[in-house]
Structures are given as structure tokens and as C-alpha cells.
Chain A
Amino acid sequence: MPFFQIDGEPVEYEPGEKVLSAVLRSGKIIPHYCYHPGMSVVATCRMCLVDVIDMGNGRPAPKLQTACSLDAMEGMKVETLNQKVEEGQKLVNEFLLVNHPLDCPVCDQSGECILQDYSFKYGSGKSEMDYSKRVNGWRDIGTFVAMERNRCIQCSRCDRFTREITGTNEFGMFNRGHELTLDTYADRPMTNKFQGNMADICPVGAITEKEFRFKRRVWKLKKNYSICTGCSSGCNVTIEHDRNEVFRLKPHENQNVNKWWLCDEGRLTYRMMNERKTRIPRPLGRVEGNLEGVSWEEAYGAIVKRVKELKPFPHEVLALTDTRASNEELFLLQKLLKEGFSSDNIFCPLPKWGQSESDFFINTLITTDKTPNRAGALALKIKGDEKNAKLKKVIEGELKVVFILGNPFEAESEIKEIIKRTQLVVHLGVFHNSWGEIADVVLPGQYYSEKEGTYTNKHQRVQSTEIAIQALRRTRPEWQILAELLQSLGQTSCFDSVPQVFAAMVQEAKAFSGVSFDEIGSLGIELKNKTKDTGMKVLVKQA
């Protein structure tokens, strides 16, 4: 690849690339506001000024250039640290603060505001503006975000977002000159499903998420990599939390999955992470018809005892799972049936799902499959079909032991009715649901923000989650519960970490062969042996 020099160091670029883009990719920094790698270049904030001392032809550029719109050229020499550049940055920042309210103490962006950071780093520290500032006021611009127009620095990222990313054209520029404001057209609040991204890309506190406003100062938030489990796209996120409470999900860039974006519905899934009321707080066992709190040992003991009494044949054992469980959990459940009962009666719901085809990438992010791991279940060959016909056939015969993981077939009362009659129903779950009502033993699992795990998204990319917050004291991650059940039932396999389970899965499940846990990293890795038919149908093309 050709290269140019920046402050004496070589930077590679792709032909046709702009200087700023190449520099940012190389990990170096040139301050900028209006440039966003996902949108067109407008070169209007003028913050990315650089001094071109050699344009590649031996001659310097006559004046400072904006790096975001400057074509990279072989042999070019660019300086970003000299006095001329510093003065340029200082003057641009001064202009940006001339009409900025400087209300950082009450602004949610404070702490992650680019204007604040740059003013500190490149600004002059004093203002010579002594007239009253421009006042535009607050606007309710959308269902998910609100706008404090006084703070806006007119970088037009939001304007380009609805034009180029969602194609909804709901947002635009109004008036001219120093009265230029950004607002929705015809005073109508925006309705696109991706408004939260506008809060992310707004470099200042002009657009903020309603959901997060005034909740927490951002520097208190701790961040963990994870994925959004709101649908089968598996968008990469950071879970941002403080004192064991989650405050928001933010997209985490992954060019192979969600690029820079996240949908609003996905953002709201953070609420479930803080849900306490409907959580199963401790193991429960049925004592004289009522579910009562028991210890883990009592629960496992009771299960083993019943299994020994019932001595079920393989076809009398059944496991049902939803596709929200992680790869490891599905794998261990399968193992439990196979090694504990020589059975392969494991089913999950597999309705058809759809994804819209669209000229705008972002629209393809939302799928109708609202579970994160359907592809994982398919890879592990967990049974199921669109109409649940195979499952219905199995439950026609006699059943003695049933394991339920999560909340599968929640709307299928017919299936539930039949399973209710079974002698032993063990339910592993995070929240109270109707399966708990018919279970004999309920084992409390953990929500995905509280445990490790890997999930396989719609493109059959395996991605992992980190432990973000601490789980309730008497719950255990499902993979651990399943491993302990295996042991209690006398099996020798012993797992005490997710990577260990993953390694076993790679050995035993063909679809996962050739993948290692370490390779997953923060960006995931695609399966090498892909399932051909994932049950996807393309929905009508969106405008």
C-alpha cells in the first residue's frame, strides 16, 4: 500500500482515501467533529486542520487544509503538531464556544463530550466573547431522543444520519448563518427506529437519549463488551453500569455485524438487566404441592432421587429449550440428555423468521427472530421445526422426565398441558414464567449480563459476552447448573469455565470444529461449517 508521512511517521492509505480516514485507521488522532467514517464528508467544522508541508510534489499547500477532505497522496508530508496547526485548532474551538452555553454541569454529555475534551486539549482556556449568546431552546425531536439546541455545534452529523443512514429524511438544517439550527421537518417528532444513534454520533450534548437523561454522570459508568440479545443480529454493545445497575447499552463498532449502529429496541433491553421483581431468587422445590425455597444441594438431591426412582427409558426423557440460551448451555443440555439418559429428545422452537431487504444497511439490522442464538441451536442440531410437528409426536408417547431451559414454546398451552402430567419437570430459568408453575424443581439461572457465554448470530458468527454486573447471590449460570446436574447424575465430565465447555463443544459438535475460544475476541468469528438453511425469508424491501 502507498503511504504518506504524518509528523514524520509513515501512514498507509488505500488509493482514493482521505488523510483523516487513513490517520484514524492507523490509530493516530487528528481532532475532528463533523467527520464520521460512516457518512459523507462535509468538511464544515474545520477542526481537522493540518499543515501540508509537502503535497507530494515538493511544494507546500498555501494554507491549512482540512484532513477529512484532503486526498492522501504518495510522498505527502503532513504536520499536525506545529504552531500553525495549533493556532488553527485554537481559533476553530474558540468560534465553537462563542455561542455554546457551557452548561456542562447540567449536561448529560459531560465527560464524553468531544467539544469538552477538545476545548481542554486544544482550546485557549479563555473567551473574548462578551455579548449575550444565541438561544434556541429545547426540542422534543423524537420518541427516543431529545434535543437541547443551544448546545449544538452544527456539525450536521444528525442531518446526514437521517439522509444517508436511515433514509428517512426526517431531520434537517433550518435558517442560515449564525441562526442555523437543526430540527425535524414540519415540527413532527422523528419515528425512525434508530434514533439512539443520533445521540451517539452527536459530538456534544445537543441530542441525548431520553432514557438516560439525568440518570448518571458518565464517568461513573463502567463498561463491558457484550452483544445485544434483542434479536438474532447480535449487534455488539457495551453494557454501561454503575453499582450493579445497568444504565444503558451503547453500540460497539463491528464492521461485520452492526457497523456503528444499534436500534432503539435493542437499547431498551437494558431494562431487563435491572429487573428484580420477576426474577427467580433461589432454587425452589415442590413440597406438598407448593413451591418452596430449598438449597442447591437439596434441589440436586431431589432430582437425582426422582430419576433413580423413575428409571426412565431414553424415549421417556425430553428437554425443551428456547434459542436465548448460549451455545455452551445448549451443548451441555444436549450432553445431559445424551450422557445422563442416552436420549436425544431435545427440541427448540424454530419458527420461520424474516429480515427486510433494504438499500439502507441499518434496516437489515432488525430481524423478526427476537432470540440471539437460533443459529447456535441449528449448528448443534437441536431438533425442531416450524409447526413443532416432531415435538408433538414425541409428547404423544409416555414421558417421565422433562427439562425446560428458559421459556420455550411459551404460547403453546397444548404442549404445556401434556408436559404438566409428567412425573418430573425440572425448570432452569431466570424469570418466573408459566413453566415454573408446573415444575417440580426450579433452578435459578442468570441473565446474560451476569454470565459469560457465546452466541451465534444470523450470519453464524460466534460472539461472546462478558460478565457486566453481579448476579443475585443464590443464582448460578445455567452452564454451571447443567454441568453440576451432569455430575450429580454420575457422569465424569467436569466443567468449571465457559472456555472449557466451549473447547469440549469444538471437539464434539461438527459445526464448531476449527474455532477456538480465544479467536472470538471482541469481534467474533464466523463458523466454518455453516448451516445452509436458517429458515430466513426476505421481507418486502423497505423504501
Chain B
Amino acid sequence: MAEETLVLFKNIRNPKYDKSLAGYKRSGGFKSLKKVFGMKPEEVVQEVKESGLRGRGGAGFPTGLKWSFMAKGTGKPSYLIANADESEPGTCKDRELMLKDPHLFLEGLMISSYAIGCHHAYVYVRGEFFPAIKTLNAAVGELYADGLLGTNPLGSGFKLDITIHTGAGAYICGEESALLDSLEGKRGQPRVKPPFPAVSGFNGCPTSVNNVETLACIPFILSDGGAEAFKSFGPQNNSGTHLVSLSGHVNCPGVYELRMDVSMKDIIYDIGGGIRDGKKLKGVIPGGSSSPVMKADEVDVLYNFDDLAKIGTMLGSAAMMVFDEGTDIVKLLHRITRFYAHESCGQCTPCREGTHWSSQIIQDFLRGNGSDEKLKRLYRVGGNMLGTTLCALGDAAAMPIQSFVNKFPEEFRKYYATL
């Protein structure tokens, strides 16, 4: 019987929880921060490295390692940016954290700032998250009033400011370098790498961009024995609990906090309460709309970074979209492809032209103009975006196309085969 493991959602799952600063402190908040102020920044980074925490934004890059890449001794300020531009279709976990327990995330942000020597952190929030923006602003206000932000919090001699910055609703601004451009007031589009943000990021200074959920894990990791405990929550290299955004045709959709050794089958049938209306499962998009699709017979696999990578798909942002036998695969793919065509920044050739062209081809199928040749063409156009673009959006658009055509070719044929 799979069940939730409460680390990040410890407060949120408590119906009586008061998300104000006072409430957060009552439930044990800011103990870690206090402890951290007694440590050296390097020790904090080391602790995070040892916990095995991997970024929760989609790429799964080890967080401690990312911080240790930050250029030192440049004479320039370092920046920490919280990426709260959650916009991968199907993902809704960061919003929960920001809305329902803002201080947990902010404490994580503060500890991390201390770790990398950042004195001005930014939270780049997705523009459409109006309630979350309000909550965050209120929470930051409370912290300043309490003296936890600004100069010398808790007598530590440290100084930190936090600015909440709202985006304008572009998916591409979730890509870290596009986010930095946008934050600098430019048109948000990905930069050429190298240089990586750790060397030249916000305003050309060393910068780390971390996901909200990643930062929210930090207070627990830095609590006494936290790193060890965190590591124990999952198989090797897949530490900790993570927030799973379960959506689609299940009986109980929602955001759940799970260990990394729970199988997808259990998530769908146990946590999610099975498929809606007693129907059969057709497939799952495991990690946000860009991850390669899985068929019903593939779901008996542990839901974590490495086990999913082994079967040719990915955990991504842990947004699981479940669909039942009544789902029209071609329409589904059309929706996904249109999304990427709409959100491509358009600067690089394969993505700009390929996302639009492939959605045109799929539309052709929907209009009854499909053919074997067009199916091949769709596969080829999708593949041509794979690995040839500047940022990962090209890949994100290509992977669903190729996997849908690979795994459900008969669904496309249905649209044009003469019976």
C-alpha cells in the first residue's frame, strides 16, 4: 500500500496549519536557518551534496554540484534565483508550495543564499500565478518586519534581500538563461551556453537558478540528521521525497509527496484511486508533456529519475498525465504540439519552423488528410528538431512526436485508412 511521506507537505497536510510566519515558526520553522548561520557556507554546500538532492525542475541535476560550480573570487556579486515559472503542462507542485507554505520555500531560499554567498535573491514567478504572487509578497513582508530579511538576521551578520519578480507568462522563461534575460528586462530567450549561469548569469554575474521545490527541500536537509534521512527516502542516486502532480483520467488527481521508490502502477491505482469510470488505462505521459509517452503495459516501473531513464523516458518535473482507453491520441499530440509551437521563442531554425510544421501535419490527420507518407514526414520533422536546437525546447517538442508515432501508429492510421 503506497502512501505519502511527508517532508515538504508536513505543514500543508495539517488542516489546522497557519501559513503565516508565526504559524510556520510554531511548527518548527527557521530552526535550520539558525543552525546554518553557525556553519560555514562550504559546509552547507557539502551537506546538500551529501543528501544527493537532484533538481526538481526537470533536468535532475545534483543541486550541491551546481552550487559548487559557481565562479568564486570574481569580485562580482553572486545571485540566487528561484525559478518559480512553473509552466510545464501537467505540473502544479511549486504553486502548492508557494500558496500554502510560502515560508518553507523562503527559508530554503535563505539558507541557499547563505550557502552560495548571495545577498540579493530573486523569485521569478510565473505571471499567471496571481494568488501565489500575493502570498509570496505578504510572506516576504512578514520576514522583513520580523528582521529575518535585511541586514543581520538572527544576529548572524549576514545580509539578504529578496525580490519577487513576476514574469509575463512565457513558457520559455522557465529555461534558466531565458529567465535571466527576462529578469534583466530583455526579451526572454535562451542564451548560448557556455558561458553557463554559474559563471556569467544575471547581469553577467555568477548565478544559480534553482527550482522552488528543490529549495523547499533545503530546510529539511539542513536540519539535524536531515541529509542522511533525505537520502534514505529513495534508491541510490534518487534521494528524497518528491512532489508528484498526478492528473488526467484518475479518480483522485492531485499533488502527492512520495518517496522515489514507489512504482507508477501504485501511483495510478493506489494513490490515484484507479482509472475514472472503471475504464482501462491507455498510456501515461510520465514527466510533463515533453517526456516520451508510455503505454499501459510499461507502467510497472519505479517512479524516479534513473528507472524511467532506463526505459527511454524521463521523470522531468514529475507531472504524470494519465489517459484512459477513450483518449484520442492524435488529438492529444496535436494539443501538445500546438503548445510547443506557441511557446517556441523562435530564434533557432529547427524549433521555430519544426514545431509549427509538425502541428500543421497533425492537423492534416485530424482533417482526414493523413497518409503513410505524412506519418513518415511527421516522424522525420519531429526527429529533425531533436538535438539540433539551442535549448531543450526543441527536444521537448520532438520527444512526444516521435514517441507517440512510435507507440501508437495505429491511432494515426485510423484517421486515413479506408476500412
Contacts and interface: CB of A to CB of B under 8 A. Distances in A.
Interface string B378-401: 000000100111100000000000
A96 B350 CA distance: 8
A179 B357 contact: no
A418 interface: no
The number of chain B residues touching the other chain, given as a range, is 20 to 34
Contact of A179 (B346, B377, B384): B346
Given A64-B388, A95-B384, A96-B353, A44 B347 contact: yes
A173 B341 CA distance: 17
Nearest to A153: B349
A154 B187 contact: no
A177 interface: yes
Contacts of B192: 41-43, 69
B350 A177 contact: no
B249 interface: no
Given A43-B192, A71-B194, A92 B357 contact: no
Contacts of B387: 63-64
A44 B388 CA distance: 10
B218 interface: no
Interface in A169-214: 172-173, 175-180
A177 B346 contact: yes
Given A46-B390, A49-B388, A172-B187, A177 B345 contact: yes
A96 to B, nearest CB: 6
A415 interface: no
A156 interface: yes
B331 interface: no
Given A44-B347, A95-B384, A154 B390 contact: no
A41 B348 CA distance: 13
B356 A178 contact: yes
Main secondary structure on A side of the interface with B? loop
Given A44-B347, A45-B349, A172-B187, A95 B354 contact: yes
Contacts of A63: 387-388
Nearest to B172: A176
Nearest to B389: A46
Given A46-B390, A177-B341, A95 B353 contact: yes
Contact of B352 (A42, A64, A69, A178): A178
The number of chain A residues touching the other chain, given as a range, is 20 to 34
B377 to A, nearest CB: 6
Contact of A91 (B342, B350, B355): B350
A10 B350 CA distance: 31
B388 A173 contact: no
B47 interface: no
A177 B388 contact: no
Contacts of B170: 176
A173 B194 CA distance: 23
Contacts of A172: 187
A131 B360 contact: yes
Query: Among A43, A69, A95, A153, which residue has the most Cβ atoms of chain B within 10 A?
Result: A95
B290 interface: no
A272 interface: no
A129 interface: yes
Interface string B305-342: 00000000000000000000000000000000000011
B356 A177 contact: yes
Interface of B: 170, 172, 187, 192, 194, 341-350, 352-357, 360, 377, 384, 387-390
11 contacts: A42-B192, A44-B347, A44-B349, A49-B388, A64-B387, A69-B192, A91-B350, A95-B353, A96-B349, A131-B360, A154-B347
Interface of A: 41-47, 49, 63-64, 69, 71, 88, 91-92, 94-96, 98-99, 128-129, 131, 153-154, 156, 172-173, 175-180
